[in-house]
Amino acid sequence: MSELFTPYKLGPVTLRNRTIRSAAFEAMCKDNKPTQELFDYHTAVARGGIGMTTVAYAAVCESGLSFNSQLWLRPEVVPELKKLTDAIHAEGAKASIQLGHCGNMTHRSTCHCTPIGAINGFNLYSPTFYRKMTRDDIEFVAKSFGEATKLCIEAGFDAVEVHAGHGYLISQFLSPYTNRRKDEFGGSLENRMRFMRMCISEVVKAGKGKIALTAKLNTRDGFKGGQETEELIEVAKELQRLGIEAITLSGGFVSRQPMYVMRGEFPVKTIVHYFPWKQWWLKAGVLLGGRIVAPTVPFKHLFFLEDAKKFQAAMPDFPFIYVGGVTSRADADKVMEEGFPLLQMGRAVLEDTDFVNKMKADENHCSACEHSNFCVGRMYSRSMQCHKRCIDITPALEKEVARVNARNDKRERNLGYKK
Ligand SMILES: Cc1cc2nc3c(=O)[nH]c(=O)nc-3n(C[C@H](O)[C@H](O)[C@H](O)COP(=O)(O)O)c2cc1C
């Protein structure tokens, strides 16, 4: 008997089943405030049977914004967020929100200050210089994580997920690739975890017992010179010690190995199509260098499973949340059989908000998502949408999606990932 559709208690909340819509950036927050589109979208996901849906990538303070369409947690957005969580609850699902700070992955025009990071440097993606955080910056951002947690409680969320992976700010401090500081925040793993410890302590102080406290962590950064599994298991132990109640195990580093996060091709042509002409230099940059800075990482079902199991073996009594390539009821059951109490899904639910109900009705149900990553490409300058439901897709882009899907299919068959 599959445990998939049985309830699960996560901290102080009980989920109706083991499925969570992963934090996948919606780009539905005009002027950094929630919109009707965000409301409709998450209500539809909740109606589709999910145990808990996650509002993605909310910045804990203004310097942490990397998109103009991203949520910035501040008191004025609480009433709208409360309407959103009420609607999710009315559909029987729980509501989570991802708390993050992008660190150096932004531009002055978006975060309205010189972008900050663990060290000084230049961000090729935006492109812009960024500066090393001072002790005051570090304390301010850590406190912002606590303040954001309080706002999320007020807004009726059941859980927060602190983003400690993918090369965003906490991960920029954790990873030896981006943290070359010489002070007490750099060097040894103990020092590189210090900033994370400060942020998590604030979250725990604000939320323990009131809201489920979770984090998203890399199993590895996904490139030579990045942080590896052995160290990240120690980070997971530290998160547990600090009071985090479950960890989502992911991987990848947006500035260095972005496709390791979700696999497949970087959607160069979709991104270029939707970028406005006033950002012509970005269009040109992505067209010329996109494939080089974001190489394809072939998609495989349950692509993080082997690495996630290493964390489970090291911390057998701790609840890890599985994410990565869950595309069918069979995949979901496999994750349960492997002993993960909860699983997250990104693209299967982006492609079809009813995916969970369909898995429940039919144990042979499979997602029709072919991971062309059109949704990722569109998200950079419009709201995130699957190409199948996108109202402004052009015939040329449709052809491009078909070409990417054919390349994915060939690649995966050659590697034996697909029969
Ligand atoms: C359009 C899109 C946006 C994403 N945005 C985020 C994000 O804001 N935060 C995050 O932690 N992961 C993000 N991800 C990664 C997903 O949450 C998930 O970890 C990844 O897609 C693997 O799961 P999947 O194979 O079920 O899609 C995003 C993925 C997609 C496809």
> Where in the chain are the domains?
8-414
d(CA 203, CA 205): 5
23 lines ligand 1 (CB under 6 A): yes
Q: What is the predicted pLDDT for the residue at 279?
A: 83
Using CA atoms, how far residue 51 sits from 54, 132, 145, 409, in Å, is: 10, 40, 25, 31
Give 216 Cα–ligand 1 centroid separation in angstroms: 11
Q: What is the dihedral of CA 348, 349, 353, 357, to 10 degrees?
A: 70
343 and 323 in contact (C-beta within 8 Å)?
A: yes
Q: What is the predicted pLDDT for the residue at 1?
A: 61
Q: What is the predicted pLDDT for the residue at 418?
A: 87
Q: What is the pTM of this model?
A: 0.97
Q: What is the predicted pLDDT for the residue at 124?
A: 81
CATH among 3.20.20.70, 3.40.50.720, 3.90.79.10, 3.40.50.2300 for 8-414: 3.20.20.70
Test site for ligand 1: of 19, 20, 25, most ligand atoms within 8 A of the Cβ: 25
Under-70 pLDDT residues of the chain: 1
Q: Work out which ligand 1 atom sits closest to the CA atom of 216.
A: 11
